Structure 1
Amino acid sequence: MTLLIVGLVLFLGVHSVSIAAPAWRNAQVARIGEKPWKGIYSLLSIAGFVVLLYGYGAARHTPTLLYTPPAGLRHLALLLLVPVFPLFLATYLPGRIRTAVKHPTLVAVKLWAVAHLLANGTLADVLLFGGFLAWAVADRISMKYRTPRAVPAAPPRPSNDVIAVVAGLAIYALFVVRVHLWLIGVSPLG
């Protein structure tokens, strides 16, 4: 469990610099340059993610059950996950979806986290998915008080929405049928 917590703190901590200390972040970027900052940020994020994944996998071997979700919530979780990949892609394929949702990646993270909290009830699940949910909520709130940074994206086009939805649903189907089992060792279909 310790590795899961260390991984979460490292991964979400790096991703929280803009939330907690935007002025410090901007000063560091000005001091060392944008590319070195992004390099350090990326290395720390990858390290945190690897430790988080390893820690979550280890914690699943000796689970501490906090609650037992009703079986029907797994179906609701699968339904909540349908828009996650289209929303994530809409961040980088600007169109009506991105305009309407404003922060599609944060909405995708919230849906992903809530769906997993509905379907899983161990301490490791609550730490992992609850941590990501709390981070996404905090990041969204902080967006009201800080200057948004440009996100590298394709040129805005109406066709971007179609691409985001079709490609996102295809990725979702792959995850449900194969990838989740391969990556996590658990089939979302039971």
Structure 2
Amino acid sequence: MTALILGLILFLGVHSTRIIAEDWRSARRAAIGENAWKLGYTAISLLGFALIIWGFGQARQDALVLWATPRGMNHLAALLMLLSLVLLVAAYVPHNHLKARLGHPMLLGVKVWALAHLLANNTLPELLLFGGFLIWSVLCFRSARQRDRLNPPAAITPRIGATLLTVLIGAALWALFAFWAHALLIGVRPLG
């Protein structure tokens, strides 16, 4: 469990600098340079991510069950994951309506991903992992919206074709993950 917690601290910590220390972050980037900042940020993120994966795998082997998962939560989680993956794709497809309307679809996608997994899972490692990401994404979204109010982003003109492409790619990723990749990578078949 220690590796999981340390990984979460490193990964979410480095991803929280804009939330808790924007001025320090800007000063460090200016002092050491953009490339050096990105290199350090990436190295800490990758180390944290590796520790999360390894630590979560270890912690799941003898996990403390915290509550009884209500029946049907895996199906609700699967539906929420479809929304999560569409939102994730919306962050990268230019000129789609979701990004134009929501502003930060990736953060919303992380929120939905974390909530979906909290609904369907019931152990301490899962609470730490998904609860940690849910709290981080809520705080990060709030911080991003505050920055947007101070410095509004350029308006984009959404296109229906880009939105349809976003939904199609998100749905394809969902199907790929739900029916094949989740079992391969995580060892759990979310839909049986």
Q: Same fold (TM over 0.5)?
A: yes
Amino acid at match of 1:134: I
Within 5 A, what are the aligned runs for 1:110-149? 110-146=111-147
**For residue 175 of structure 1, what is the aligned residue in structure 2?**
177
RMSD: 2.0
Where do 5+ consecutive residues of structure 2 fail to align?
Answer: none
Distance between the aligned counterparts of 1:93 and 1:160, measured in 2?
A: 7
Within 5 A, what are the aligned runs for 1:65-80? 65-80=65-80
Distance between the aligned counterparts of 2:86 and 2:127, measured in 1?
A: 25
Amino acid at match of 1:174: L
Where do 5+ consecutive residues of structure 1 fail to align?
Answer: none
Q: 1:31 to 1:156 in 2, by over 3 A?
A: farther
Amino acid at match of 1:143: A
> Do 2:97 and 2:158's aligned partners in 1 also have CA atoms closer than 8 Å?
no
> Do 1:22 and 1:146's aligned partners in 2 also have CA atoms closer than 8 Å?
no
Once the two structures are TM-superposed, the CA of residue 71 in structure 1 deviates from its matched residue by: 2.3
User: Tell me, what secondary structure is at the counterpart of 1:10?
Assistant: helix
The percent identity for this pair of structures is: 46
Within 5 A, what are the aligned runs for 1:1-190? 1-94=1-94, 95-146=96-147, 157-190=159-192
User: Tell me, what secondary structure is at the counterpart of 1:145?
Assistant: helix
Once the two structures are TM-superposed, the CA of residue 158 in structure 1 deviates from its matched residue by: 4.1
Amino acid at match of 1:16: S
User: Tell me, what secondary structure is at the counterpart of 2:147?
Assistant: coil
Distance between the aligned counterparts of 1:107 and 1:28, measured in 2?
A: 28
Once the two structures are TM-superposed, the CA of residue 127 in structure 1 deviates from its matched residue by: 0.3
Amino acid at match of 1:119: A
* TM-score normalised by structure 1 residue count: 0.92
Which moved further from structure 2: 133-142 or 30-39?
A: 30-39
Once the two structures are TM-superposed, the CA of residue 156 in structure 1 deviates from its matched residue by: 6.5
User: Tell me, what secondary structure is at the counterpart of 1:71?
Assistant: coil
Describe the superposition over 1:37-76 as per-residue Cα deviations: whole angstroms up to 9, x where unpaired: 1111111101100000100000000010101111211111
Matched residue pairs, number? 187
Which moved further from structure 2: 126-135 or 161-170?
A: 161-170
Once the two structures are TM-superposed, the CA of residue 19 in structure 1 deviates from its matched residue by: 0.5
Moved over 6 A (4+): none
* TM-score normalised by structure 2 residue count: 0.91
> Do 1:93 and 1:156's aligned partners in 2 also have CA atoms closer than 8 Å?
no
Once the two structures are TM-superposed, the CA of residue 142 in structure 1 deviates from its matched residue by: 1.4
User: Tell me, what secondary structure is at the counterpart of 1:92?
Assistant: coil
Distance between the aligned counterparts of 1:157 and 1:46, measured in 2?
A: 35
User: Tell me, what secondary structure is at the counterpart of 1:121?
Assistant: coil
